[in-house]
Structure 1
Amino acid sequence: MIPVEILNRTMVAAVLHGPGDVRLEEVPIPPIGPKDLLARVEAASIDFTDRKVYLRGSHPMITIPGLFGHEWAGVVVARGEQADIRWQPGIRVVAANSAPCTVPSPAARCRACRRSRQSMCERLLYNNGAFAPYIRIPGRIVEVNLHELSPQVPFEEAALAEPLACVMHAIRRMQVSDGDRIVIIGAGPIGLMFIAVLRHRYGQSIRLLSLDHHDDRLALARYFGADEALNTVGAPLGAGVREAFGTEMADIVIEVVGSTQAYQEAFEAVGRGGTLIAFSGVAEGTGLSLDLHRLHYEEIQIVPIYHHTPGDFASAVQAIVRREVPVASLITARLPLMELSRALEMVQERTTLRTILLP
């Protein structure tokens, strides 16, 4: 039940109405169903996906107008009468922004979930509303994508579990061998997470090259574990790969910029039998010209990555808890919710890595 002090009250939350139109509005504190929880948001993270959704005014995970924000950590303040008894008010938690099929019988799940492709779940339940003082956690997310946090884990670090889960998803689907040359195009938060996780998982058995246009981010790439970090302003990507590896070909190229040019150069940098990890989302209808001769005769794989699974999210939470990924180094700004517009501008201008909003 919702405590009396919260019942029927309102809160100021970010609501997306369309392209470039997000408003801070007074809305009811979300009511909860029998299996749901209500949490107080202690820290919310704003990322480039939020910026893209803001500019486009739409996303598959948001019904417009709709509550905005999807990366957060906080404290349980209320539970539905049928919610799992373990989730009592006062427990510190972090939750993913979605849940795939959770029905007990495999036969009743969607085809994608039966095929162990939960990120492609046909009934994927999304949850938004992190840019607000309170957020409802639907029962399906409570069941498979909610984790308790110890007092030693800062809320603002835990709020980065969702993007890290997407990285975990990508790395889980990568085939990495000893001696592999891996290129990460883009040294923003996602690119840096890739470096940290790959280095922790494979140690010195692989070589990591980070490419970006910002020297401050490249310095962080070295700190996170890159063997080489090169500024490619005004130079073709292949030149940077050749400088680092002595060849223009890489075994794995991870694209985390989200531009047609970056994707084109990434494909051209993949060597024989190599893999392009297509991580970044682009606008609908965006095309890419590929050399199908190379694709076929050099057996180049293109592995698109979207979202994450409960297993990936659990791995991300554990990596943060165990300090395997120095996510605290990614947090470069903290703002109150009332400065959401400024936070969105900072993301676009790349004057911050990760901004934490404090509702």
Structure 2
Amino acid sequence: MAVNAMRRTMVAAVLHGAKDVRLEEMPIPQLGPEDLLARVEAASPDFTDRKVYLRGSHPMITIPGLFGHEWAGVVVARGGQADTRWQPGMRVVAANSAPCTDPDPAARCRACRRSRQSMCERLLYNNGAFAPYIRIPGRIAEVNLHELPPQIPFEEAALAEPLACVMQGARRIQISDGDRVVIVGAGPIGLLFIAVLRHRYGRSIRLLSVDHHDDRLALSKSFGADEALNTAGRSLRAGMQEVFGAERADVVIEAVGSTQAHQEAFELVGRGGTLVSFGGVAEGSILSLDLHRLHYEEIRIIPIYHHTPGDFAGAVQAIVHREVPVARLITARLPLIELPRALEMVQERTTLRTILFPWGRFDA
């Protein structure tokens, strides 16, 4: 049973360390004066969750701690001083963090004063999506909570957070008409990049998706890629020459999260081009670069981590207005109790996105 109403408890996923996640009975979250409580209708484990599960640590979670950060649901309770915009019964989606929100800009951290909110020194994270209920801290409710129209399924809205990260990347990359853009990796993030860039730039740019899986490459074309290239056992640059007529690209986006993929992506960047380092890797991972090329060819490297309130708002609107086909990413639906299986599916790449239902209902 997900909730014990008499005892005011729920069964939630708690991460205790590497490869140690447990479904435990615990109190339904207590609210501070400005907090909200939401019923989680749909949640989604992503590759970050899988990495956190394997490593047993991440900057956004204290161990042991509640697990999961992508969700959508319904407000069910509010603290006594919570913003009156939010009332029980409202359908909502929230980001998993909030940067500085002090009304006096001078009181915010240096990163926020420099308009780098994704690097906020006081970034407040929120976990606990893999549970029937989640607390929404007042700071997140202030800047990173959005109401959902009734026609948007909860399971689609739950993918707003990864889309927001992609939105930050698309916003910060300099792309010009006629540019050749390569996305390394045709998983959920790579597919979202294709959809977002195609919507933003139309047919003024050429998009190439590269991966080792033909099924995902086929899907990349439906998301907007001009060409899809299976690079298993072949030279990336030779493949580039074949499909683009050039061995290197203007922008290369690494959406895999491995040192090897970063190395291959750097080799594909042309003169004056940009490498976008999106996929997160383990601490201590070292990338060997040809500094001669880096300097004389003025290659830029732009790392992208997390998102900002503006990016999250843009992601929610993109889902509401059907600008990005997030529903096509959902390839499995499971009850919360099958979280371990869902994490394995992410690792084995047998699913793009799995939706978990804490209440056991598949009608969200």
SS at match of 1:187: coil
Report the alpha carbon displacement of residue 49 of structure 1 after superposing the two structures with TM: 0.5
Task: Confirm or deny that 1:269 pairs with 2:268.
Answer: yes
Alpha-carbon deviations, 1:210-257, whole Å to 9, x = none? Answer: 001111111110000000011111112212211211111100000011
Residue 362 (structure 2) aligns with: none
The one-letter code matched in structure 1 to 2:67 is F
Superposed counterparts of 1:1-359, under 5 Å: 9-359=8-358
The one-letter code matched in structure 1 to 2:325 is P
- Take 2:6 and 2:73, find their aligned partners in 1: how far apart are those partners? 19
Contact 1:238 1:265 in 2 (8 A): no
SS at match of 1:275: strand
SS at match of 1:340: helix
The one-letter code matched in structure 1 to 2:258 is S
- Take 2:6 and 2:284, find their aligned partners in 1: how far apart are those partners? 45
- Take 2:339 and 2:314, find their aligned partners in 1: how far apart are those partners? 29
- Take 1:128 and 1:312, find their aligned partners in 2: how far apart are those partners? 19
Alpha-carbon deviations, 1:255-312, whole Å to 9, x = none? Answer: 0111111111100110000000000000000001100010001000000000000000
SS at match of 1:248: coil
User: Identity of aligned pairs, percent?
Assistant: 84
Contact 1:211 1:240 in 2 (8 A): no
Contact 1:6 1:29 in 2 (8 A): no
The one-letter code matched in structure 2 to 1:210 is S
Runs of 4+ with >6 A deviation: none
- Take 1:292 and 1:179, find their aligned partners in 2: how far apart are those partners? 27
Alpha-carbon deviations, 1:167-210, whole Å to 9, x = none? Answer: 00001100010000000000000000000010011000000000
TM-score (structure 2 length as normaliser):
0.96
- Take 2:251 and 2:5, find their aligned partners in 1: how far apart are those partners? 51
Report the alpha carbon displacement of residue 8 of structure 1 after superposing the two structures with TM: 5.6
- Take 2:109 and 2:85, find their aligned partners in 1: how far apart are those partners? 29
User: Once structures 1 and 2 are overlaid, which stretch shifts more, 326-335 or 236-245?
Assistant: 236-245
The one-letter code matched in structure 2 to 1:305 is I
Report the alpha carbon displacement of residue 86 of structure 1 after superposing the two structures with TM: 1.6
SS at match of 2:39: strand
- Take 1:159 and 1:132, find their aligned partners in 2: how far apart are those partners? 14
Contact 1:258 1:280 in 2 (8 A): yes
Q: 1:7 to 1:179 in 2, by over 3 A?
A: farther
The one-letter code matched in structure 2 to 1:114 is R
Contact 1:15 1:24 in 2 (8 A): yes
- Take 1:20 and 1:236, find their aligned partners in 2: how far apart are those partners? 36
User: Once structures 1 and 2 are overlaid, which stretch shifts more, 239-248 or 312-321?
Assistant: 239-248
Report the alpha carbon displacement of residue 7 of structure 1 after superposing the two structures with TM: 8.5
Q: Which runs of 5+ in 2 are unaligned?
A: 359-364
SS at match of 1:238: helix
- Take 1:201 and 1:223, find their aligned partners in 2: how far apart are those partners? 16
Structural RMSD (CA)? 0.9
